[in-house]
Structure 1
C-alpha cells in the first residue's frame, strides 16, 4: 500500500502540471504579448509530448528499473519548472520548449506506476490496486485549476511553476530516501540486491537477502514500444481507451466556456469549483470500479497466481461490465450537452459530470487492467503506448470541439459525439472478446518458444 501510495503521489504530478497552468493562460497572453491562440499552442505542445515521452521512458523503466525512471522524471520536471519560472517574457519560444520538457518529465510517471502494479500485485487484485494508484492522477484535473487560479491571482503566474518545482523536488527526495526497486528482472520478489542506484537510503519497504542475480531468461532489454501496435488485440484496447478519453476531454474542455456563457452568475472561482464534480466521479470510480473488477475475477474462478492460463476467458471476464459503463457515459454526455445549452439548474450538469467522470475512469481502468494482464512483463511499455493513443486522439478532438459547439450548439455536438463513441466503443468491445483470446494465445506461445 505504501508503494502504491508513493506511485500515486508521483503520478499526481502529470495531470497537476497539465491543469494547474490553465487559469494563467489569459495572464500569460498579456505578459508575453501573444494572442490566446499562440499561448494555447503551449497546451497543445504539452499534450503531444505527454503522449510521446512515455514511449521512451516506459521501456527504460521495464529494462533499468522503476525507481531509476521515477527519479529521472522528477529531476527533469524540477529543472523545467524552475526554467519556466525564470523565463523572460520576451522569450515565448523558450516557454514552448520548456513546456515540452515539462511534459516529458511528468507524463511518464503514470506508465511507470502501472509497471509497479504489475511487479507487486497478482491479477486477482490488479483492478483494485491499479484504481488506487490512479487516485492521484484523477484528483489532479479537479484540484489543478483551483490551485493554479489561487496562485496566479495572489502571487503571480510564476508562482505556479515555483510550486511545481518544490513539489517535484520534494517527491524526488522521498524516492531517493525510501523507494525500493520493484522490477522483477532486477530484484526478483524483492529479496535480490539491485545495483547500487536501485537501493534506497532507508530500505524499510523491502528485505534484501541475496546478492545472486535474477536468472538470465527473466532479464529483458528495453524493447521497441511501438512493436505493441503490431498486436491486433492490443490495438483494439488502445483504440477503446482513445475513444473514452476523447469523449471525456471533450466534456472537460468545454465545461468552462459553456458554464461561463450559460450561467453568467458564476464567478471564475465558482467555475473552477465545478470541476470538483467530475473529479469526484473519477475519484469514486478509481475506488469502486476496481473492486468490482476484482470481484468479477474471483466469481469467474480467475487464477490467483501471476501467470494466467491460456484457456481462461480473461477478455470476457474483464470486459463484462464495460457495456453498462459505456451506456451511462454516452447518455450522460448527451444530457450534459442539452443541460448546459438550455441553462437548466446547475445541479443537473454537475450530477452528469460526476457520472461521466465515474464511468470514464472505470472504462479506462478495465481496459488498462486487461492490457496489463496481456503484457505483464512490460507493464510500463504497454501503459506508455496507451498514453500515446489517448493523448494524441484527445488533442485532435480538443482542437476542433469548440468549433463544433459554435456551429451545432452544445446539445447536438454531444449527441453526435455520444453516438459516435457508443458505436465505436461497442464495436471495439465486441472485437476484443472475439479476437483477443486468439492473439493472446498466439503471443504467449511465441514467447514460450523464444525462451
Structure 2
C-alpha cells in the first residue's frame, strides 16, 4: 500500500519528463510495475528494477542503456585495460632513471625532465581526444591512441640519444587514452550505480602506477632499460587487436543508448553480431533516430573548448583544485620514492618496486570499498527523499543533493590521504624501520585513490553528456600539477627535508578541502542557478 501511495505521487511527474541530461525517462507503466516489484539490494533497502513492459510488449529502447549487466562490466573493464597502457607508460621507468642517465651520458635531472614533459602532454592531449570521442565515438578515439602509442614505443625501443628519448616520450604521452574509460561509464551506467562501476574504470589508474615500477625494475635489471619500451610495444599490440575487433561503440551521440547501429567507421564484429541478433528477435531499429544521429556524425579535428568550459565552471573548479593538490602529494611520493629508499635503506630497483606495492594495495582496497560506500549513500538519500531507484533509468538530479551524497563519503577519505602524506614524510626524517613508511604509503594510496574516485563520479554527475570531457578536465589538472611536483620535489626535499616538504604539500591539500565542503553545502543551489541561466 505504501508503494502504491508513493507511486501515485511520483507517477505523473516521472512519466511526463525525463532527466535534463537527455537521459531516458521513466515510462508510466514501468514506474507502476517497478513500485510493485522491488528487488532486494542490501539490508533494509531496495533497488527497483523496472521491467520494460510498454503496450504489452517488451521494449528495451527506453532504457538508459540496452547493454546487459555482464556486457557493461566487460565494456568498462576493457576500456580500463586499454588505459592501463597509458598509466604504465607514465611510471614504468622510474626505477631505471639512474641506469638510463648513465647509458645516455646525461644527468638524472634531465631524465626526470622526460617524466615532466610526459605528464604535461598526458594532461593536454586528452582534452583533444575526449572531445574527439564525444563527436566521433569512443572506438575511433581508442584506435587513434593505440596507433600513436605503437609508433612511439617502437621508436623508443630503437633510439639511443637523449633528444630522441625526449621527443618520443612526448609522442608516447599523446596516445594516452586513460580518460576514455570514464566516458564508457557515463555512456552505460546510471548515477545510482556509478560508484561501483567507477571502480572498474579506475583499475588501470590504480594498477598502472602500482605495477609498472615493479615491472620496470625487474625488466631494467634483468634485460636492460630499452626492453621496457619493447615490453610496452608488445603489450599495446596485444591489447589493440581484440579492442579493434570486439569493443562496441557506446557514445550516446553516436548510438544513443546502444539501440542504434553505429556508422561503419565505428562498427566491428561485436556490433554486427549484436544487431543481427536483435533483428532475429524482432527488435526494430528507430530509423528516424538513426538518420538523425548519422546526419550529425562527423570525423573532424577536435576543439578543446568543451574542456575549458568544464574548467571554468565554478563548482568544477573547486573540486579540481582539491584533486590537483591530492595528486601533487601522490606524484611527489612516486617520483621521489626511488631515490629516497635507495639513499635511506640502500634498496635495489626490485626492492624499491616491492615497497611501492603498499601504495598500490591501498589503492586497490580503496577502489572497491569507496564505490560501495558511494552507492550506499546515494540509495540512503534517495530513500530519505522517497525517490525510486532503477538500474535502467537515470534519475533527474536537478532536485537531488548529489554533491552531499558523494562528498559525505569523500571528505573523510581526503583528510586521511593528507594525514598519510604528512606521516610518510616525517618517518623518512627519522631513524626508523622501513615498515613504518610502508604503512603510511598504504594509507596514502587508500586516501588519495578514494579522493580521485569520489571526484570522478561527482564530475560525471554534474556534467551529463560530457563524461569523457569532464574526465579530461580532471586529467589536465592532475597531470599538470603532477608534472610540476615531479620537477620540484627533489630540490624541495633537499632544501626543507622530507618531513617539511611533504607536510607543505599535504597542508595545501587540507586547505583546499574548503572547496568540496562548500560544494557539499551549496552545490545543488549552484546547479539550479546555472540551469536557470541555460548553461
TM superposition score category, shorter chain reference: over 0.9
* 3-state secondary structure, aligned to 1:310: helix
Indicate conservation of the 8 Å contact 1:131/1:290, yes or no: yes
The alignment status of 1:344 with 2:414, answered yes or no, reads no
Higher mean Cα deviation, 115-124 or 182-191?
A: 182-191
Of 201, 204, 207, the match for 2:269: 201
TM-aligned CA deviation for residue 446 of structure 1: 4.8
The alignment status of 1:405 with 2:493, answered yes or no, reads yes
Q: Distance in 1 between matches of 2:446 and 2:358?
A: 10
Unmatched segments (≥5 aa) in structure 1: none
Indicate conservation of the 8 Å contact 2:415/2:447, yes or no: no
Of 368, 372, 377, the match for 1:291: 372
TM-aligned CA deviation for residue 431 of structure 1: 2.3
Q: Distance in 2 between matches of 1:317 and 1:211?
A: 36
**Aligned runs of 1:303-318 on 2, under 5 Å?**
303-304=389-390, 305-318=393-406
Q: Distance in 2 between matches of 1:206 and 1:240?
A: 42
**Aligned runs of 1:418-437 on 2, under 5 Å?**
418-425=506-513, 427-437=514-524
Higher mean Cα deviation, 175-184 or 217-226?
A: 217-226
> Which position in structure 2 is the counterpart of 1:415?
503
Higher mean Cα deviation, 181-190 or 212-221?
A: 212-221
Unmatched segments (≥5 aa) in structure 2: 1-72, 280-284
TM-score, normalised to structure 1, is 0.92
Deviations along 1:121-143, one digit per CA (max 9) or x if unpaired, are: 00011011011111122111111
> Which position in structure 1 is the counterpart of 2:13?
none
> Which position in structure 2 is the counterpart of 1:164?
232
TM-aligned CA deviation for residue 294 of structure 1: 0.6
Over 3 Å counting, the alpha-carbon distance change for 1:260 and 1:30 in structure 2 is closer
TM-aligned CA deviation for residue 26 of structure 1: 2.2
Indicate conservation of the 8 Å contact 1:134/1:286, yes or no: yes
**Aligned runs of 1:249-264 on 2, under 5 Å?**
249-264=331-346
TM-aligned CA deviation for residue 150 of structure 1: 1.8
**Aligned runs of 1:224-235 on 2, under 5 Å?**
224=305, 225-235=307-317
TM-aligned CA deviation for residue 214 of structure 1: 4.2
Indicate conservation of the 8 Å contact 1:50/1:103, yes or no: yes
* 3-state secondary structure, aligned to 1:345: coil
RMSD value, Cα: 2.1
Over 3 Å counting, the alpha-carbon distance change for 1:112 and 1:446 in structure 2 is farther
The alignment status of 1:118 with 2:186, answered yes or no, reads yes
Q: Distance in 2 between matches of 1:336 and 1:32?
A: 33
TM-aligned CA deviation for residue 307 of structure 1: 4.2
Q: Distance in 1 between matches of 2:473 and 2:225?
A: 33
TM-aligned CA deviation for residue 442 of structure 1: 3.5
The alignment status of 1:144 with 2:212, answered yes or no, reads yes
TM-aligned CA deviation for residue 205 of structure 1: 8.2
Q: Distance in 2 between matches of 1:217 and 1:204?
A: 18
> Which position in structure 2 is the counterpart of 1:133?
201
Indicate conservation of the 8 Å contact 2:255/2:293, yes or no: no
TM-aligned CA deviation for residue 162 of structure 1: 1.3
> Which position in structure 2 is the counterpart of 1:93?
163
TM-score, normalised to structure 2, is 0.78
Q: Distance in 1 between matches of 2:97 and 2:80?
A: 27
Deviations along 1:417-448, one digit per CA (max 9) or x if unpaired, are: 222221122x1112212442233223444558
Deviations along 1:371-399, one digit per CA (max 9) or x if unpaired, are: 00011201111111110011111221222
Q: Distance in 1 between matches of 2:78 and 2:445?
A: 23
The alignment status of 1:82 with 2:154, answered yes or no, reads yes
Of 175, 187, 191, the match for 2:255: 187
Indicate conservation of the 8 Å contact 1:68/1:198, yes or no: yes
Over 3 Å counting, the alpha-carbon distance change for 1:38 and 1:413 in structure 2 is closer
Indicate conservation of the 8 Å contact 2:210/2:360, yes or no: yes
TM-aligned CA deviation for residue 216 of structure 1: 4.5
Over 3 Å counting, the alpha-carbon distance change for 1:137 and 1:267 in structure 2 is same
Aligned residues: 442
